[in-house]
Chain A
Amino acid sequence: MERDCCLRVFACEQNLLSRPDGSASFLQGDTSVLAGIYGPAEVKVSKEIFDKATLEVILKPKIGLPAVQEKNQEQIIRNTCEAVVLTTLHPRTSITIVLQVVSDAGSLLACCLNAACMGLLDAGLPMKSLFCGVTCALDFEGGITLDPTDKQEKESRALLTFAIDSVEKKVLTITSKGSYSIEELQQCIATSQKAAEKLFQFYRDSVSRKYSKS
């Protein structure tokens, strides 16, 4: 269980687009996602919610039109963001998160979650805490690989993606594919919580860098 938590190299750039209110690009190994955040902006009357902001996530695949899988991931990201963003502070507005997949080399959903969080940070929207996405792959011997590549994902028995918040390090979202035991799930959670610490430290460093200039 005391396995090294080794994530791939990750990098981030904030405020790189001029039109959106907040933007970020997040790289995890060869996986890269670009996020643009608009909000709090005007909302369509049909989508207006009287006591909170309407949160919308649009995930654009690298090639072709969004299909069922993309819609499912949009929903997962939306629900995660909804748990963290203080939408009640901006009622009757819309917050739109547009995620463009630049390249997919495994752990795409985790990368999308990270890009969305960095984008929200850049847009300055009120949040209870930060969150990050971590993907774990379980192989047939029961070993855990963090932040798997495309190849590792294909060879794995089960694939679990967690969203973890920064305050209590609790799990916000779990989505999984394949079969695993309860013990394995617990182990995966513990490992990703450790990996999350690293990501949050990275978030902190990149924000410090952003504000060191002013």
Chain B
Amino acid sequence: MRQREVYRAGAGSGCTSVLLLLSKVLRGDGRGQQAEADVLVVAISSPLAFSLVFVSTTLAFPVLAWQQRVLVLQMALRAEQRVGQPVLPGDVLLTPLKDREQEDEQDGARLALRVPSPTRLRVTCGPGLRRQGGSLLVTRSGILRHRAPSLYWVDSQQKRYVPVKGDHVIGIVTAKSGDVFKVDVGGSEQASLSYLAFEGATKRNRPNVQVGDLVYGQFVVANKDMEPELVCIDSCGRAVGMGVFGHEGLLFKVSLGLVRKLLVPQGEIIQELGKIYPFEIVIGMNGRIWVKAKTTQRTLIVANILEACEHMTAEQRKQAFAKFSDNMM
């Protein structure tokens, strides 16, 4: 590839190509000195281009190197430095370094026969990240998040659901065929739900599930190459809240980001809302929410509030809730 670049430089467009090549080399390894050496290697490998490269390098290198260095710093930061910042597809994050001092302290007690530990941390890539050589490639836009010790992922706002094993979702039964139900979960393919995957179901005692019913279930198989499979029981055979539900109430769709926000372990939104008046709610990771309150009007109010929560900060939300509960009194 390098050879071809040099050929192009020799062929006529001169300065630009060499600059491009230079910038590419610089960006590639992120160190100025190394790049200089590389350019020399290239120049030697093709005598035709030597003079061109030499002239343009001496002229343009100082300015360009400075610009490029700034760019490199911006582009290839270590993953831990980009946490909380927006990232875009194509960004490369260097694998985070191990916290050396902490490590040394821990190992201080049993120092004698310690194998020198690698400086790079073993990283778990969450959604939106892929491994590429020794670094991480971002494949989705969003905010980079991190959880100790080594989990990194990209938090993005999406609308389309892609099944993930272990997720709890709300599905709509669309067909009964033989011993499985087909359930629409909002993904690219309908999930299958065995009639034996309900609490207390046996071959003789079939669950009462009709087409059009809502089910709350969990994925046991969710694989890009296979049909997703739902169950409505846990590993001990109990329903723990799953199964057919919702003969009244309202089902609506929200973005996946909002669902994650509502289901945060110490999530305050639902609790705050519950203080105003009681209601029932089922939240599926696939962006579907089912609500039921005492009256239709109250149900609609809850649905509207939840939808509005997406673009509110905690502060704004508290104000809105305070105002609302005053009105209800």
Instruction: Report which A residues bind B (CB closer than 8 A).
Output: 1, 15, 20-22, 38-43, 86, 89-94, 121, 123-130, 165-169, 182-183, 186-187, 190, 193, 203-204, 207-208, 210-211, 213-214
Query: B257 near A: Cβ within 8 Å?
Result: yes
Show 16 residue pairs from A and B whose CB-CB distance is below 8 angstroms, ordered by the A residue: A21-B159, A38-B160, A42-B189, A90-B224, A92-B189, A124-B128, A125-B140, A126-B89, A128-B90, A130-B88, A165-B90, A166-B88, A166-B90, A187-B16, A193-B20, A203-B88
Alpha-carbon distance between A108 and B86 when the two chains are bound, in angstroms: 29
Write the residues of chain B forming the contact surface with A, with a CB cutoff of 8 angstroms: 8, 11-13, 15-17, 20, 24, 86, 88-90, 92, 128, 130, 137, 139-143, 156-160, 162, 187-189, 224-225, 257, 311
B188 touches A123 (CB 8 A): no
Q: A86-B139, A89-B224, A182-B12 are in contact. Are A204 and B160 (CB under 8 A)?
A: no
Contact with B158, one of A38, A124, A186 (Cβ below 8 angstroms): A124
The 6 closest A-B pairs by CB, nearest first: A129-B90, A186-B13, A127-B89, A93-B188, A124-B158, A126-B139
In the assembled complex, the Cα of A89 lies from the Cα of B162 at a distance in Å of: 11
CB B72 to nearest CB in A, in angstroms, measures 13
Roughly how many angstroms separate A48 CA and B189 CA in the complex, as a whole number?
12
- Interchain CA distance A121-B130 in the complex, whole Å: 17
In the bound assembly, the distance between CA atoms of A128 and B188 in angstroms comes to 22
User: Are A127 and B158 in contact, CB atoms less than 8 angstroms apart?
Assistant: no
Known A-B contacts A1-B15, A123-B158; A190 and B20 likewise in contact (beta carbons under 8 Å): yes
Q: What is the bound-complex CA distance between A191 and B162, given in angstroms? A: 40
Contact A124 to B90, CB < 8 A, known contacts A90-B162, A186-B16, A190-B13: no
Query: Which residue of chain A has its CB nearest to the CB of B253?
Result: A18
Contact A214:B188 (CB < 8 A) given known A124-B156, A208-B86:
no
Pair A130/B156 contact, Cβ less than 8 Å:
no
Instruction: Please name the residue on chain A nearest to B255 by beta carbon.
Output: A15
